[in-house]
Amino acid sequence: MSLPLVSIVIPSYKPGHFEACLRSAIGQSYLNTEILVSDNCPTEEIRDICKRFPGVIYQRSTAVREQNVISAFYSGKGEFIKPLFDDDLLHPFCIERMVAAFQSASDIELAFSASQVIDINNMRTQTRRAYQASGHMKGIDMHRHMVLNLTNHIGELSTVMFRRAKLWDLGWHKVFQRGSHDFTKGLADIASYINFTENAALFYIDEELSYFRHDQRLQSNSNANSNPFFGNNFSDYIDLVVSAHETGAISTAEFLGMHDTLVSVTDRLSGVFEQMGQAFARYTAYRDALL
C-alpha cells in the first residue's frame, strides 16, 4: 500500500493549547506527513513553540479567522489535507485510518470519524458518533440529511480529511459558497463538506480519532462571547435550505415542507441573533417567488 503525502494544516491564533495540538500532529503513526502552521497570533508564542520542533513548516499569516483557515488549506502540498485547529487534538492513528479509508474506493473525496468533545482541562464531555458502523456513503445523501434535519452530524473541520485536488478544482472563493449564499462566517464547515463530496462519496470511520475542545472560557468561534458572527451558525441553516433547493439537492415539496420548522427556529432565536431575521427574510423572498 502506497503512503501518499498528507498535509496536517494548523491555522493558529490561540497559544494556550497549541503545543498539545502540535504534538498530536507530530505523534501520528502514519509516516508520510508534513505539518504546516499558519500563525496569526498577536504574540510570538506559537512561533517559539514551533521552533522547538524540527521539520514543522511555520508561516506567519496576516489573514484572520476564516481567511487564515483557507490560506492554510491552500498551503498544503500533500495529496490529502487534514485540518487541525489550534486547541484540538488528533488520535495517534487518525491519519493512518483516514488514508486507508480513502484507499478503499476511488470516489471518496472526504473522510470523517467519531470524535470526542473535551474541556479546557482535557476532560471528556461528549462522545459523538454519526453512525453505528463505519461505511461508505454518497455525498448527496449526506447533504440531504444535513439540510432536512438542520444538523451537522460530521462535526468541525478538525474531524475531516479531504483531497487537495478537489480543493483546487473548487477554487479559493467557492470552498464555502453554496448556491447564492456565502457561508464563510457561519456554517463554512458544512458548505465545504457539501462542495467536496458533490457528485462523489465520503467515508465514515466509527473510531474516535479527533478531540474537539469546547469551553466558554476559551476564545473560539464556537463561543458567542468571542465570535461576533456566532449567530450565523444558526441563521446559515435557513440559507442552507434555500441553497439546497437552488442546487437541486431537495425537491420543491421538501423545501416547502420545511416552512413550519424554519418559522419555529426563527421565532425562538430572532430575539437573540439579528442574523435570524435577515436569513428568514431571504428565505421568504425565495419561497414567495416559487409560489
Under 8 Å between Cβ of 164 and 82: no
Q: Give CA–CA dist 54/84, Å, rounded.
A: 19
pLDDT in tens, 54-84: 999 999 877 667 888 999 999 999 999 999 9
- Parts of the chain belonging to CATH 3.90.550.10: 6-213
pLDDT of res. 90 = 98
Under 8 Å between Cβ of 87 and 10: no
Q: Give CA–CA dist 274/111, Å, rounded.
A: 34
Share above pLDDT 70 across residues of the chain, in percent, rounded to a whole number: 95
Averaged pLDDT score across all residues of the chain: 93
pLDDT of res. 61 = 79
Residue 96's nearest CA partner among 176, 32, 179 is 32
Residue 20's nearest CA partner among 208, 211, 221 is 211
pLDDT in tens, 186-201: 999 999 999 999 999 9
Angle between helices 188-197 and 139-149 (to 10 degrees): 150
Q: Give CA–CA dist 214/223, Å, rounded.
A: 8
Residue ranges of the chain with per-residue pLDDT less than 70: 1, 63-64, 215-227
pLDDT of res. 229 = 74
pLDDT of res. 58 = 96
Q: Give CA–CA dist 64/71, Å, rounded.
A: 10
Alpha helices (H) in the chain, listed in sequence order: 18-26, 45-51, 66-75, 94-102, 139-149, 164-170, 188-197, 232-246, 252-257, 259-269, 274-290
Cell of residue 172, nine digits: 479559493
pLDDT of res. 68 = 87
Question: Pairing mode, if any, of strands 177-178 and 181-182?
Answer: antiparallel
pLDDT of res. 56 = 97
> Which CATH superfamily, name and number, covers 6-213?
Spore Coat Polysaccharide Biosynthesis Protein SpsA; Chain A (3.90.550.10)
Under 8 Å between Cβ of 121 and 56: no
pLDDT of res. 1 = 57
